[in-house]
Chain A
Amino acid sequence: MKKLMTGNEAVARGAFEAGVTFASAYPGTPSTEILENMAQYKADVYCEWAPNEKVALETAIGASIAGARSLAAMKHVGVNVAADPLFTFGYTGVTGGMVLVSADDPGCHSSQNEQDNRYYAKFAKIACIEPSDSQESLDFMKEAYKISEDFDVAVLFRMTTRTCHSKTLVEEGERVPVAMKEYVKQPGKYVAAPATAKKLHPIVEDKLVALEKFSNETPLNRVEMNDKKIGIITSGVAYQYAKEVFGDKASYLKLGFTFPLPMDKIRAFANEVETLYVIEELEPFIEEQMKVAGIDCIGKAVIPRIGELNPDIIAKAILGEDRPVVQMSEESIVGRPPTLCAGCPHRGFFYALTKKRNVMVTGDIGCYTLGAAEPLNMIDTVIDMGASISMGHGAAQAFAKNGVEKKVVSVIGDSTFFHTGVNSLMDVVYNGSNTVNVILDNRITGMTGHQENPGSGYTLMGTRAKEINIPALCAAIGVEHIQTINPLILDDVSKALDEAFAFEGPSVIITRWPCVLKKFSPEDIKEFDLAPSVCEVIDEKCRGCRVCTKTGCPAISFNKETKLASIDKTMCVGCEVCLQSCPFDAIEKVGK
Chain B
Amino acid sequence: MSKTTNILLSGVGGQGIILASKILATGLMNSGYDVKMSEVHGMAQRGGSVTTQVRFGEKVYSPIIGKGQADILVSFEEMETAKWMEFVKPEGTVVINTFRIPSAPILIGKADYPEGVIAEVKSNVENTQLLDAATMAKELGNVKAMNVIMVGALVKGLGLTDINWEDVIKSLVKEKFIELNVKAFNLGFNAVK
Question: Chain A residues with Cβ under 8 A from B41's Cβ?
Answer: 29-30, 32, 109-110, 165, 449
Are A336 and B85 in contact, with the CB atoms below 8 A?
no
Alpha-carbon distance A314/B40, docked complex (angstroms): 22
- A332–B68 alpha-carbon span in the complex (Å): 18
Shortest beta-carbon distance from A30 to chain B in Å: 6
Shortest distance from the beta carbon of A65 to any chain B beta carbon, whole Å? 34
Is A335 an interface residue when CB atoms closer than 8 A count as contact?
yes
Instruction: Write out, one digit per residue, whether chain A residues 551-562 have a CB within 8 A of any chain B CB (1) or not (0).
Output: 010101110100
Q: Which of B102-110, B145-153, B159-167, B184-192 is the contact stretch? A: B102-110
Docked-complex contact B63 and A237, CB < 8 angstroms: yes
Mask, A418-455, CB within 8 Å of B = 1, is 00000000000000000000000000000111000000
Task: Write out the residue numbers on chain A whose beta carbons fall within 8 Å of the beta carbon of B86.
Answer: 325-328
Assess the A312–B46 pair: CB atoms within 8 A.
no
Which of these, B68, B83, B109, contacts A325 with CB under 8 Å? Answer: B68
User: Which residue of A4, A166, A333, A447 is within 8 Å of B83 (Cβ)?
Assistant: A333
**Also in contact, A336 and B117, with CB within 8 A (given A165-B39, A311-B65, A328-B85):** no
Q: Which residue of A lies closest to B66 (CB)?
A: A312
Contacts of B141 in A (CB 8 A): none
* Bound Cα distance from A332 to B96, whole angstroms: 15
- B42 lies within 8 A of A326 (CB): no
Asked if B68 contacts A324 (CB within 8 A), the reply is yes
Q: Is the CB of A325 within 8 A of B47?
A: no
Known contacts A30-B42, A167-B36; A323/B68 CB under 8 A? yes
Q: How far is the CB of B126 from chain A (nearest CB, A)?
A: 12
Known: A4-B26, A4-B37. A326 touches B47 (CB 8 A): no
With known contacts A328-B82, A332-B120, A570-B143, A240–B61 Cβ distance under 8 A: yes
Cβ of A168 < 8 Å from any Cβ of B? yes
Q: A109 contacts B108, CB within 8 Å?
A: no
CB-based contact B85/A326 at 8 Å: yes
Name the interface size band of chain A: 35 or more
In angstroms, Cα B137 to Cα A570, docked, is 15
Q: How far is the CA of A244 from the CA of B103 in the complex (A)?
A: 36
Task: Decide: A549 and B109 in contact? CB cutoff 8 A.
Answer: yes
Q: Which residues of the other chain, B, contact A278 by a CB distance below 8 angstroms? A: none
Residues in B with CB closer than 8 Å to A373 are 104
Contacts A109-B41, A310-B65, A334-B103 known; A552 to B108 CB distance under 8 Å?
yes
Q: Which residue of B lies closest to A373 (CB)?
A: B104
Complex Cα spacing A6 to B40, Å: 12
B46-105 CB contacts (< 8 Å) to partner A = 46-49, 60-69, 79-80, 82-83, 85-86, 88, 90, 102-105
Provided the pairs A247-B2, A340-B46 are in contact, do residues A165 and B80 lie with their beta carbons within 8 angstroms?
no
Q: Are A332 and B66 in contact (CB under 8 A)?
A: no
Note all chain B residues with C-beta closer than 8 A to A374: 104-105, 108, 110
Task: Please list the 7 inter-chain residue pairs (A to B) with the smallest Cβ-Cβ separation, ordered nearest first.
Answer: A312-B66, A110-B42, A323-B68, A166-B63, A338-B48, A338-B46, A336-B103
Residues of A within 8 A of B (CB): 2, 4, 6, 29-30, 32, 109-110, 133, 162, 165-169, 237, 240-241, 243-245, 247, 310-313, 315, 323-329, 331-341, 367, 370, 373-375, 447-449, 546, 549-550, 552, 554, 556-558, 560, 570
- Mind listing 5 A-B residue pairs with CB under 8 Å? A241-B62, A310-B64, A315-B66, A556-B107, A557-B107
20 new A-B contacts at CB < 8 Å, known A168-B63, A336-B48, A337-B105: A30-B41, A110-B42, A167-B36, A167-B39, A168-B60, A169-B35, A244-B1, A247-B2, A323-B68, A326-B68, A326-B85, A327-B85, A328-B85, A332-B116, A334-B113, A339-B104, A370-B46, A549-B108, A549-B109, A558-B108
